[in-house]
Amino acid sequence: MLKRKKVWIIAAALCVAGAAGFLFWHNAAQLQAAGDFATYRVTRGPLTISVIQSGTIQAREMTTIQNQLEGRTSILWLIQEGTEVQKGDLVMELDASSLIDSRLDQEIRLQNAEASYIRAQENLEVVRNQAQSDVELATLQYEFAQEDLDQYIDGEYPNELMRSEASITLAEEELARARERLEWSRTLFDEKFISQTEMQADELNEKRRTLDLERAENDYNLLTEFTYKRKLAQLESDLRQAEMALERTKRRARADVVQAEAELKARELEYNRQRDRLQKIEEQIVNATIYAPTAGTVIYATSAMTGGRRWNVEPLTEGRDVREREDLIYLPTTASAKAEVGIHEANLQKIRVGLPAVVTVDALPGRKYLATVASIAPLPDAQSMFLNPDLKLYNTEVFLEDNDEALRTGMSCNVEIIAEQHDDVLSVPVQSVIRADGAHTVFVVNGRSIEPRQVEIGMDNNRMVHIRSGLSEGEQVLLTPPLSAGTADGRRSRTPAEPGDIDDRVRDRLNNNDRSADAPAEPPQAAPEAADPMQQLRQRLEQMTPEQREQLRQQYEQMSPEQQEQLRRQMRPEGSGSGQRQGQGQGQRRQQRPAETTP
C-alpha cells in the first residue's frame, strides 16, 4: 500500500513539473516571438483613401483628322507639330502615285464599258427595227394621236378660246373708249370747240366698234358650241384606233425584244460600276491632300497616345506608312482639358463617376488642378491586354475644372482620385491585416503574448487601411503576421456565412471525395510542404498581381536592416541546419518580400 502511494506521488510530481516546464517554454517562446517581430502602434488621425495613377493631358473637345485612303500609304509631307492653322490650311500630303496609275487603267476600262453599252443600245434598236417595225409604227401612230389630242385639248383649243375671248375683251374696250370719246365730242360741240364733222366721225367710230364686238361674240359661240365638240370627237376616235392597233402589235412582237433589252441592261450595269469605281479613285486622290477642317493647334495622334498604345506605335513622320481610318492629327477646339488614365482592376471598387481628383502635371511643378471623374470604361483597354494579358487597365477620363493655357495635349500628369477623406480614424499598415478563418485578422501584442483579433476594415490606400472596429488607439499590432495563422492541416478554415474562399471549399470537396473513394478510410495527414512557410509564400506570390509584387518590394526596401533580419528569421524553416540554411539563403532572400501581404 505504501509502495503504491509513493508511485502515485512520484507520478503527480512529474506531471506538475512537466506542466510547469511546458508553460515556461510556451511563455518564453511567445515573449521571444513578440520581441523578434516588428510592431506598429495604432494611431488615430487623418486618412485619405485615394488612387494615384499616371496619365496624359488631352483636350476635352477636339477634331480628329483620319486617313481616308484605303489600305496603307506613306506620308509625303507633314506640317510641323504645334503649328497654329486656320480652316482650309494644308496639313498633310499622302502618297497617291498608285492611285493615279489606277485611275488611268480605270479610265480605259470605263471607255470599254461605255462602248459596250452603246453597242448594246444600237443592237437593241436594230432588233426593234427588224422585229418590231409594226410596233414602232403603231406606237408612233398612237403617240401622234395622243399628242394631237393633248395638243388640241391643252394647246390649240385653249389658244383659240383665248384669242376669241381676247377679241371680245378688246372690242369691249374699244367700244367703251369710242362711246366715251363720243360723249366728250358732243360736249365740245355744244360749246363750239369742235366742228360737226369731227363729232360725226366719232359717232361712226362708235358704230364700228359695236359691230366688231358683235362679230367677236359670234366667233366665240361658234368655237365653243360646234368646232370644239367636232374636233374633240374626231381626235378621241383616232386615239382609240391607234391604241388598239398598238396593243395588237405589241403582243405579237414582245418576245423578240426581251433578249436585246436584257443585254442592254447588263451593259448598262457594267458601265455604271466602272464609272463609280473611277469616281471613287478620284475621291481617294482628293483625300490624299488633307486640309484642316477647323482652326486649332496641330497635335500628332501618336504624341497624344497614352498607356500601352504608345509602346508599339511609330511616331508620325514623313515617310511613315499609315493605315486606313488611322488617327493622324488632333485639332483641339476648346481650351478645356482632361486627363486620361488607366485604372487597374484592383482599384475599380474604390472609384466611381463624380469623385473629385487632384491633377499635377510633371512639366508644371507646383501647380495643382481640381478635377472630376467623368467616365470609366466598362471594359479593359484592349491594347494593354494585348501587350500584357495579365494587366487589366480601364480607361478613365478626368475633366479638369480650371482652364490653363500652359496645359498642352500630351503632357504627362499624375491623377489622385479621392475616394474617401477621414479627419479622425484608426488606421494600420495594410500588411498587418490578413484573412484568417474567413475574417480580417490582426495580431495584437498583449504583454508577453501575441493574440489574433478579428477587425472590421474599410478602404485602404495601398499603405494604410481604415479600421472601423476591433482595435483601440495605442495598441500594438504586428507588421508581419505569421503566414500560418488561421490554417490547420494545410487548409484555411472559413465560416459558413463567408462568401469567399472558394478555393478552400473546392479543396474540401476534393478531399471528401478522395476519402469516400478510399477503403479503408484513413485520417487525413498534413503534407509537409503545406506547413512550409516558403511553400505558402510561393503560393501567395503566384496569386498576386504585378502591382502588388512591386508594392511589396518597395515596402521591403523601406524596412530597417533589423526588421529585414527579423523577417528572414521568421521565414527560416525550423530545425534546418546551418549548412542547409546557407544553401537555401539566396532562395529565401528572394521570398522575403511577399511577407508584407496586402489584405
Indicate the residue among 401, 421, 441 that finishes a domain: 421
Indicate the residue among 253, 287, 321 that finishes a domain: 287
Long-range contacts of 368-372 (CB under 8 A, 24+ apart): 369/400, 369/401, 369/402, 369/404, 370/400, 370/401, 370/402, 371/338, 371/339, 371/398, 371/399, 371/400, 371/401, 371/415, 372/398, 372/399, 372/401
Q: Are residues 127 and 250 in the same domain?
A: yes
DSSP class per residue in 331-399? EE-SS-EEEEEEEEGGGGGG--TT-EEEEEETTSTT-EEEEEEEEE-SS--HHHHHH-TT--EEEEEEE
Indicate the residue among 377, 395, 421 that finishes a domain: 421
Helix (H), strand (E) counts: the chain: 13, 24
Contact 372, 357 (CB under 8 A): yes
Contact 441, 374 (CB under 8 A): no
Q: Are residues 93 and 108 in the same domain?
A: no
* Alpha-carbon gap, residue 57 to 151, rounded angstroms: 76
Query: Would residue 426 count as lying in a domain?
Result: no
Contact 599, 457 (CB under 8 A): yes
Number of domains in the chain: 2
* Alpha-carbon gap, residue 438 to 503, rounded angstroms: 12
Which amino acid would we find at residue 259?
A: Q
* Alpha-carbon gap, residue 288 to 318, rounded angstroms: 14
Q: Are residues 262 and 178 in the same domain?
A: yes
CATH number at residue 85: 2.40.30.170
**pLDDT at position 168, please?**
85
**pLDDT at position 187, please?**
80
Closest CA to 337 of 414, 412, 404: 404
**pLDDT at position 117, please?**
93
**pLDDT at position 110, please?**
94
* Count of other CB atoms within 10 angstroms of residue 3: 6
Cross-strand pairs, 476: 41
- Tracing cell 471613287 back to the chain, one arrives at 280
Q: Are residues 317 and 382 in the same domain?
A: yes
- Tracing cell 503560393 back to the chain, one arrives at 539
Q: Are residues 85 and 171 in the same domain?
A: no
Closest CA to 409 of 329, 292, 313: 329
Q: Are residues 161 and 241 in the same domain?
A: yes
Contact 199, 186 (CB under 8 A): yes
Contact 65, 91 (CB under 8 A): yes
Query: Would residue 479 count as lying in a domain?
Result: no
Q: Are residues 376 and 392 in the same domain?
A: yes
C-alpha distances out from residue 253 to 123, 186, 249, Å: 16, 80, 7
DSSP class per residue in 203-240? HHHHHHHHHHHHHHHHHHHHIIIIIHHHHHHHHHHHHH
Q: Which domain covers residue 138, as residue numbers? A: 101-287
How does strand 337-344 pair with strand 43-59? antiparallel
Which amino acid would we find at residue 186?
A: R
Query: Would residue 255 count as lying in a domain?
Result: yes
- Tracing cell 478554415 back to the chain, one arrives at 493
Q: Are residues 245 and 191 in the same domain?
A: yes
**pLDDT at position 527, please?**
37
* Alpha-carbon gap, residue 79 to 291, rounded angstroms: 11
Closest CA to 133 of 123, 125, 142: 125
Query: Would residue 320 count as lying in a domain?
Result: yes
In the 8-state DSSP scheme, what is residue 191?
A: T
Query: Would residue 322 count as lying in a domain?
Result: yes
Q: Are residues 206 and 65 in the same domain?
A: no
Burial code of 167-197, b = ≥16 C-beta within 10 A, e = fewer?
bbeebeebbeebeeebeebeeebeeeebeee
Cross-strand pairs, 327: 66
Burial code of 28-40, b = ≥16 C-beta within 10 A, e = fewer?
eebeebbeebbbb
3-state secondary structure 4-58: HHHHHHHHHHHHHHHHHHHHHHHHHHHHHHHHHCCEEECEEEEEEEEEEEEEEEE
Query: Would residue 31 count as lying in a domain?
Result: no
**pLDDT at position 355, please?**
92
Q: Are residues 88 and 120 in the same domain?
A: no
Write out the chain's pLDDT in tens, 599 residues: 444 554 455 555 555 445 444 444 444 444 444 455 788 889 899 988 889 999 888 888 888 889 988 888 999 999 998 888 898 999 999 999 899 999 999 999 999 999 999 999 998 888 878 877 887 788 888 888 888 888 888 888 888 888 888 888 888 888 888 788 878 887 877 777 777 788 788 778 888 888 888 888 888 888 888 888 888 889 889 889 988 988 888 887 877 888 888 999 999 999 999 999 999 999 999 999 999 998 888 888 887 775 545 545 788 888 889 988 888 888 887 678 889 899 999 888 888 999 999 999 988 888 999 999 999 999 988 877 777 888 889 999 999 988 888 888 778 899 999 988 888 899 999 888 988 878 889 999 887 788 888 999 988 888 889 999 888 888 889 888 776 554 433 333 333 334 444 445 444 544 554 454 444 444 434 333 334 545 555 556 666 666 666 666 666 666 666 566 656 655 554 444 333 333 334 333 333 333 333 33
Q: Are residues 229 and 129 in the same domain?
A: yes
Query: Would residue 92 count as lying in a domain?
Result: yes
Q: Is this structure's pTM higher than 0.85? A: no
Grid coordinates representing 559 are 524596412
Kindly tell me the burial class for residue 342, based on how many C-beta atoms sit within 10 Å of its own C-beta (0-12, 13-18, 19 or more).
buried
Query: Would residue 155 count as lying in a domain?
Result: yes
Q: Are residues 279 and 307 in the same domain?
A: no
